[in-house]
Amino acid sequence: MVKAIVGANWGDEGKGKVTDLLAQQSDVVIRFQGGANAGHTIINDYGRFALHILPSGIFYPHVTNVIGNGVALDIGKLVDELAQVEAQGVPAPRLIVSDRAQLLMPYHILQDSYEEARLGGRAFGSTKSGIAPFYSDKYAKTGIQVCDLFDEPRLRSRLTAAVELKNVLFEHLYHQPRVDAEALTEQLLSLRERIRPFVGDTVSFIHQALKDGKTVLLEGQLGSMKDPDLGIFPMTTSSHTLAGYGCVGAGVPPAAIEDVICVTKAYSSCVGSQTEPFVSEVTGQAGDELRRRGGDRGEFGATTGRPRRVGWFDTVATKYGCMVQGATQAALTCLDVLGYLDEIPVCTGYEIDGTVTDTFPTTPALLRARPVFTNLPGWKQNIRGCSDYDALPANAKAYVDFLERHIGTPITMVSTGPKREEMTRRTSKL
Ligand code: GDP
């Protein structure tokens, strides 16, 4: 059976921690979309890791980790990350890289930076990892698949054609140096040797694993709000962040996905540009304090280090985020972070043009939305590390009950710290 672990919000919900925990009882963990543009923070017996491209199952010798065909594969970054985790004492993981995955090229990264610079104040706040140009090229059919690396004449001719187009843009739109297709081919051929042992037919592997009754985890990157179709377009990413996309990006059969675990934080955070709509944002001193106390080291991007915008829990966005994921259950992380507050505001409605709604709107209306808050009493207690849900303070449990009622998805896990064992199990009241 397939379980998906996906984000209900803007990303950084703590999916890495939940995947690392559930991987214990799983056989396969698959990344099915996105690239190295976001980081999953995992803290376990080996230390602290910010995984960008490797699946979060790499810490278990019994788990096979798969980089699915839907991923934007930066081979250089993959090779570096493998070396990094091995240097931190993790045994060489079992890994299969899809032969159909496409390669994120150095020219995608350049194009991303050039375009953000050209846009200036209108920039999207991209991480400049090349993700948007990569997916554009995939759908324009000028992308290069991993399998192309093993057919040199084909690689050369496809790369020459792709670079021809890039050079027109680079020279005439961005006034930047041309890319040398020949040098790039040589570089790819040498990197090819580093990934050769891992390349395989992941689709057949996964189908066989399912036939054998194995448990497969799909590990999502970012969250519902960043989906290009159902998110806050155009402040979205360029691949689908929804569990449903696992059927394409990993090749799992739709009917095999039995469980969709939506991860959401006890407050909100959002990376990206300041122009991005973020209705429940808290700014000023209160925002600085929440940012400083958030996550395991404050709310700062795992990939970029940039400060994340923070806000109170948003039930309008999260209810929608769980709906579009098809959530069967929700995991609430970072409840421990809120223990310093007398009162905790929760955004339970959006006021748009004088009317209050709890239905998540399209972007133009979202940009006009004002938050409607309900204040709940805090618990003023340090609950970090608590692993027994019943032992939590009454106000902390009332807070979780309130969120569950508003998002309409059973909250079955409540996390009380960044470490693997800092987790409680809860019986839903829905
Ligand atoms: P992901 O991309 O969804 O995996 O999330 P990130 O790793 O970017 O961000 C989640 C942050 O919260 C990381 O710093 C985690 O170590 C941290 N974290 C996860 N769960 C908890 C929790 O329950 N409490 C606290 N304090 N931090 C947590």
pLDDT value, residue 160: 96
* Residue 148 C-alpha from the chain's centroid: 27
Helix (H, G, I), strand (E, B) or coil at 346: strand
- Residue 197: asked if its preceding bond is cis (omega within 30°), the reply is no
Taking CB atoms and a 6 Å cutoff, what residues make up the pocket around ligand 1?
A: 7, 11-17, 38-41, 43, 295-296, 302, 333-334, 336-337, 415-418
- Average pLDDT on 389-406 reads 98
For tokens 């698949």, name the residue.
145
The DSSP 8-state label assigned to residue 342 in this structure reads S
Q: Which two tokens stand for residue 262?
A: 């939506």
Q: Give the number of the atom of ligand 1 that is nearest the alpha carbon of residue 11.
A: 3
- pLDDT per residue as tens digits for the range 13-69: 999 899 989 999 999 999 999 998 877 888 888 998 888 999 999 999 999 999 999
Separation of CA 13 and ligand 1 centre (Å): 6
Rg (CA), the chain: 22
Q: CB 157: neighbour CB atoms within 10 A?
A: 13
Asked whether the predicted pLDDT for residue 302 surpasses 80, the reply is no
Residues 6+ apart with CB under 8 A from 174: 114, 115, 117, 118
Q: Mean pLDDT in the chain?
A: 95
Separation of CA 371 and ligand 1 centre (Å): 25
Separation of CA 340 and ligand 1 centre (Å): 18
Question: Which residue out of 12, 137, 227, 336 is catalytically annotated?
Answer: 12
Q: Give the number of the atom of ligand 1 that is nearest the alpha carbon of residue 38.
A: 2
> Does the annotation count 12 as an active-site position?
yes
Residues 6+ apart with CB under 8 A from 358: 315, 316, 319, 348, 349, 350, 406
Q: Whose CA is nearest to atom 12 of ligand 1?
A: 295
Q: Give the number of the atom of ligand 1 that is nearest the alpha carbon of residue 7.
A: 3
How far apart CA 2 and CA 4 sit, in angstroms, is 7
How far apart CA 406 and CA 348 sit, in angstroms, is 8
Contact 392, 383 (CB under 8 A): yes
Residues 6+ apart with CB under 8 A from 79: 191, 194, 195
